[in-house]
Amino acid sequence: MPRNTVRTNPDSDRGFTLVEILIVVIILGILAGVVFAGYKDAVTESRQSAFATELHHYVSAAEYYIADTGQLMADGSSGQVPVGFERYIDTGDWESPTPLGGVWDTEGTDSGFTAGLGVHFMNGGNPGNAVMSQVDGIIDDGDLATGMFRQATDSDRFYYVLVY
């Protein structure tokens, strides 16, 4: 004998309405935006820290080079290891892009100091002064116009001053 079932609510088998689905999609979109913004900030901070660490490594090598040879490093071409400096660093790392983009560079008297080591953002790859000011805060005083880490006269170059 077939079993008779009685429905107490005729709408009990309906699905979600379009409005309910849209609300869920909007909430998921907002959550994704928040997560993505946090991820982007974390990636930027990680690259800034890696840049500061690599710069510190090269500055230490340059100071050792100066103490060892009694000479300042040559004002080299951007992205190329200065003559004689290859004994103190891994040339493959020097010739690779920095964690923030751009290439490593040494600078002479053209930028208002006697010797410096830093980054040259060529071809529009500059992450901007706000990012570089944060890097300066990790390395130095947070002001690109003062201290040991500063922006050169070209807006796309930033150097750690080895010798004023």
Per-residue pLDDT band at 3 (split at 50, 70, 90): low
Dump pLDDT digits (tens) for 96-114.
Answer: 999 999 999 999 877 788 9
Residue spans of the domains in the chain: they are: 18-163
What's the predicted TM-score (pTM) here?
Answer: 0.76
- Report the relative pairing of strands 115-120 and 149-151 from DSSP bridges: unpaired
pLDDT confidence of residue 43: 85
Q: Amino acid letter at 84?
A: G
Dump pLDDT digits (tens) for 20-48.
Answer: 889 999 999 888 888 777 777 788 899 99
Which token pair is 119?
């980054």
- Does residue 6 register a pLDDT over 60? no
160 touches 117 (CB < 8 A): yes
Q: What values do phi and psi take at 15, rounded to 5? A: -90, -165
153 touches 159 (CB < 8 A): no
How many whole angstroms separate alpha carbon 105 and alpha carbon 76?
A: 7
